[in-house]
């Protein structure tokens, strides 16, 4: 078998970490079973709510029927499986502080340049490694002709615990983004990046986890996020400040959007957070249900709806890995203790970069960010939503690169 370019880790990895090449290979029988289930799963007849096309009541029947039919008749999983498999993939075993081992799946692009900067890219929910596939394709294309020595970065894209082909969380205790942060830090150490240091970037769950990593691991030198869910400074009268012109029109529009999302768009948090067992059975046991639940978010939370193949590949990764029931654990913390999801910021003392995308679910005004006193680099964009790595990979990468260039090693 030919060696995949950019596949050589730059440092020796201890045998206990059991670094093993990995290939996604869904059995033909599972693909056929999926098609049978898609054919047999009834979709509710038209009614007032599912006939509305603007997403006010959730995904429309028209969108769900169209995506389901395309998934069954035209979508080619093998094409996307092959694309993902064209990148170096590994599983690595990381032992937690209680000595329990976890296997973490990740994609990578490794450089042979001794000065290459390691960058850990963290997906969100309902995302996966697919979020960063366009960015990986871009980087590989850019540096393919000149080879691994020309790549100025090591790129590591893991599935969080509970997602994709990484291990599920334990069955005998709670598991939160803080646990993920600890395991991601241990993974980067096992890969040999403790001495050089590394950068962490993330959105959604990744944006919760990134500052937590920086808070516990001195090797994490920089943090970049594209979601920043922070409270207003104490004593702030938001409505009065809006009337007084303290915020820009884009910031006002964003806060209004966040208010509407909190009022009507957070049903998933309550179901996943308070009834995760039921949600796991209900949504994880049927591909049309899974498509409706995840596809709704990928449509509603983006600035421009992604291509059908991207929506379906993300959903297919959940389906074939069976991970939906184990991917929603972090929603319990969000609904029970919302403030705790941003506790990682309290002790961050490394440079932080933040990219503001216009249609992100949470976008604090610049004056709130300045009061927070943690963000050293800021860039605002007039488009883009909750999945910028998928929606605008060139834009997000330019932000990451410019931030790293400005602060790495300083």
Write out pLDDT tens, residues 222-234. 999 999 989 899 9
394 is catalytic: no
pLDDT tens digit string along 275-302? 999 999 999 999 999 999 999 999 999 9
Residue 234 pLDDT: 93
Task: Give the span between the Cα atoms of 127 and 172, in whole angstroms.
Answer: 25
pLDDT tens digit string along 156-192? 999 999 999 999 999 999 999 999 999 999 999 999 9
139 domain residue, yes or no: yes
pLDDT tens digit string along 292-329? 999 999 999 999 999 999 999 999 999 999 999 999 99
59 domain residue, yes or no: no
57 domain residue, yes or no: no
381 is catalytic: no
Residue 2 pLDDT: 61
261 domain residue, yes or no: yes
Query: Confidence band (pLDDT; 50, 70, 90) for 3?
Result: confident
27 domain residue, yes or no: no
Query: Confidence band (pLDDT; 50, 70, 90) for 1?
Result: very low
Catalytic choice (75, 329, 330, 381)? 329
Residue 199 pLDDT: 99
For residues 262-275, average pLDDT: 95
75 domain residue, yes or no: no
- Residue 218, pLDDT > 90, answer yes
- Residue 333, pLDDT > 50, answer yes
52 domain residue, yes or no: no
For the whole model, what pTM was predicted? 0.97
- Residue 56, pLDDT > 50, answer yes
98 is catalytic: no
Catalytic choice (90, 318, 386, 399)? 386
Catalytic choice (204, 217, 303, 399)? 204
258 domain residue, yes or no: yes
Question: Total structural domains in the chain?
Answer: 1
Residue 93 pLDDT: 99
| Averaged confidence pLDDT in the chain | 96
Its domain, for residue 177, covers 88-279+323-407
Q: At 180, which CATH number?
A: 3.40.50.1820
């Amino acid at each position: 078998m030919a060696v995949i370019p950019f596949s050589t880790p730059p440092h020796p990895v201890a045998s206990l970490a059991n670094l093993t090449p990995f290939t996604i290979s869904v059995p033909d029988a599972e693909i056929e079973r999926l098609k049978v289930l898609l054919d047999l799963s009834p979709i509710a007849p038209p009614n007032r709510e599912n006939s509305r096309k603007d997403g006010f009541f959730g995904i429309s029947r028209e969108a769900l029927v169209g995506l389901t039919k395309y998934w069954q008749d035209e979508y080619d999983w093998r094409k996307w499986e092959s694309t993902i498999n064209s990148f170096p993939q590994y599983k690595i075993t990381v032992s937690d502080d209680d000595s329990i081992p976890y296997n973490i799946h990740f994609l990578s692009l490794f450089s042979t340049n001794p000065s290459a900067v390691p960058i850990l890219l963290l997906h969100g929910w309902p995302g996966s490694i697919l979020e960063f596939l366009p960015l990986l394709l871009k980087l590989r294309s850019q540096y393919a002709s000149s080879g691994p020595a020309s790549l100025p970065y090591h790129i590591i894209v893991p599935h969080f615990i509970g997602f994709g082909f990484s291990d599920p969380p334990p069955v005998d205790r709670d598991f939160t983004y803080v646990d993920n942060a600890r395991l991601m830090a241990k993974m980067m150490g096992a890969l040999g990046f403790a001495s050089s240091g590394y950068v962490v970037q993330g959105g959604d769950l990744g944006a919760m986890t990134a500052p937590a990593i920086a808070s516990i691991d001195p090797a994490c030198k920089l943090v970049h996020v594209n979601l920043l869910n922070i409270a207003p400074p104490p004593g702030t009268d938001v409505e009065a400040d809006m009337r007084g012109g303290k915020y820009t029109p884009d910031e006002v529009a964003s806060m209004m959007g966040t208010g509407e999302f909190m009022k009507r768009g957070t049903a998933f948090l309550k179901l996943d957070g308070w009834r995760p067992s039921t949600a796991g059975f209900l949504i994880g046991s049927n591909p049309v249900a899974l498509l409706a639940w995840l596809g709704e978010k990928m449509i509603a939370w983006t600035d421009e709806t992604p291509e059908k193949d991207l929506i379906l590949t993300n959903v297919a990764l959940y389906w074939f890995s069976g991970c939906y029931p184990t991917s929603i654990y972090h929603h319990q913390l969000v609904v029970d203790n919302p403030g705790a999801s941003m506790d990682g910021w309290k002790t961050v003392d490394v440079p932080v970069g933040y990219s503001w995308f216009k249609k992100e679910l949470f976008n604090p005004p610049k004056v709130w960010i300045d009061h927070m006193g943690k963000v050293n680099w800021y860039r605002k964009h007039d488009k883009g939503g909750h999945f910028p790595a998928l929606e605008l990979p060139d834009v997000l990468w330019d932000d990451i690169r410019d931030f790293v260039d400005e602060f790495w090693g300083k």
